[in-house]
Amino acid sequence: MNTKRRASSPVRLDVIGWREMVGLPDLGITQIRAKIDTGARTSALHAEKQELFERDGVQWVRFLIPTGGHPKLSMVETPLRDERDIKNTSGMPERRYIVRTTLLLGRHRWHIDVSLADRLKMEFDLILGRTAIRGRNVLVDPGGSYLAGNPKGKRVRKQTERQPEIS
């Protein structure tokens, strides 16, 4: 058995804070405050008046989302990726719709799955869970805020279509 290790180049980690400004351009959100929550598995976006419908044989979901802070909301329609039980902040499972969208975080751009939830009483309209940042070479500084800068629209990192774990 060969026990020699190959010399590998050091991995460059981007440090992000526990809260960041991000963009979700597929949903029309150029900038939104997000809490980076490594204790949460799944990301969650505040969405009101969620409604399933069918378009060309495919399930879609229509909902209202924040576009510039409450109470300003915008209607969005996007394909439904999944429906699953996700534990809410009280630890109780609730059935949620899951959609896929592009995330802009600083200079980076990739796809994430996000659950649609009622976060009206929460401080942040968006929670980024650990699956959204796993494998993206980011390190969360729990004492830092807004370290990534404003979301940039240009493509820097090539998107890889990895399928997230579905439970």
Domain ranges of the chain: 14-145
- pLDDT tens digits, one per residue of 132-148: 999 999 999 999 999 99
- What pLDDT does 71 receive? 58
156 pLDDT band, cuts 50/70/90, is very low
Q: What's the mean pLDDT in 57-80?
A: 84
* CA 166 remoteness from chain centre: 15
Q: Are 80 and 7 in contact (CB under 8 A)?
A: no
The CATH code for residues 14-145 is 2.40.70.10
Give the predicted TM-score (pTM) of the model.
Answer: 0.81
66 pLDDT band, cuts 50/70/90, is confident
Q: Identify the CA nearest to 131 among candidates 164, 162, 157.
A: 164
